[in-house]
Amino acid sequence: MDTSDDPITIGLAVGGGLQVLSSIQQGKAAQAQGEFQAEIAARNAAERIKEAEGQRQAAAEAAIEIERRGRALKATQRAKFAKSGVELRGSPLSVLVETAQDIEADKFTTLREGAIRASSLEAQAGIIQAQGAAAKSRGKTAKRASVLSAVGTGVGTTAGIGQSRFDRGLKPFSPGKR
């Protein structure tokens, strides 16, 4: 009996071939998924970096506004002291100094809070980038594993065909030889 005429051998060969192809396709899909997740992570990380820069910029603008309002407040205080005839010594001077200190403290606090928010966003970006790299690596590993699985399936199928033919008293199967 010729190998091409043996339906069991043909069935085993076709089934094994389909398993090999399926394993390879699953590996390719896993790698593509990993690369896609890495791309998404890169975009999300870039967005967090932009948000961080926005936080720093917003804090800087808020600090400028605090400074502007502070100058106006100090000018109003000086004008009221001058209008009332009070000299800028003692308590009136202390009020002006305290106002200036409060303005500087508010500016510093605003800038510090903006920097903290920005640093938090940058840390999130780093975590997201690491997750993306891990997803890409998992995809590559899954692809390699599927290739190894496909090789194992191919070897197992060939051995199974040979055993099946041997058990039925037929000549051993040689892929590619008819």
d(CA 117, CA 121): 6
The answer to whether residues 16 and 153 touch, using CB atoms and an 8 Å cutoff, is yes
Confidence of residue 144 (pLDDT cuts 50, 70, 90): confident
Q: What is the structure's pLDDT at 34?
A: 86
pLDDT value of position 138: 84
Residue that wins the pLDDT comparison between 127 and 23: 127
End-to-end Cα, the chain, rounded Å? 11
Please give the pLDDT value at position 108: 97
Sequence-distant (6+) residues with CB within 8 A of 42 are: 129, 132
Distance from chain centroid for Cα 6: 53
Tens digits of residue pLDDT in 41-95: 999 999 999 999 999 999 999 999 999 999 999 999 989 988 998 888 888 899 9
pLDDT band for position 170 (50/70/90)?
low
Averaged pLDDT score across all residues of the chain: 81
Three-class DSSP category at 103: helix
Neighbours of 27 (CB within 10 A): 22
Distances (CA, A) of 94 to 7, 18, 75: 104, 88, 15
Looking at the chain, list the stretches that DSSP marks H as alpha helix, in order from N- to C-terminal side: 7-84, 91-167
What is the predicted pLDDT for the residue at 88? 80
Q: Would you state the pLDDT for residue 178?
A: 47
Q: What are phi and psi of 102, to 5 degrees?
A: -65, -40
- Looking at residue 1, what is its pLDDT? 44
User: Residue 159: phi, psi to the nearest 5?
Assistant: -65, -40
Query: For 58-67, 75-84, 123-132, 146-155, which range has the lowest pLDDT when averaged over its residues?
Result: 146-155
Section 86-108 average pLDDT: 92
Alpha-carbon dihedral angle through residues 89, 94, 97, 99, given to the nearest 10 degrees: -130
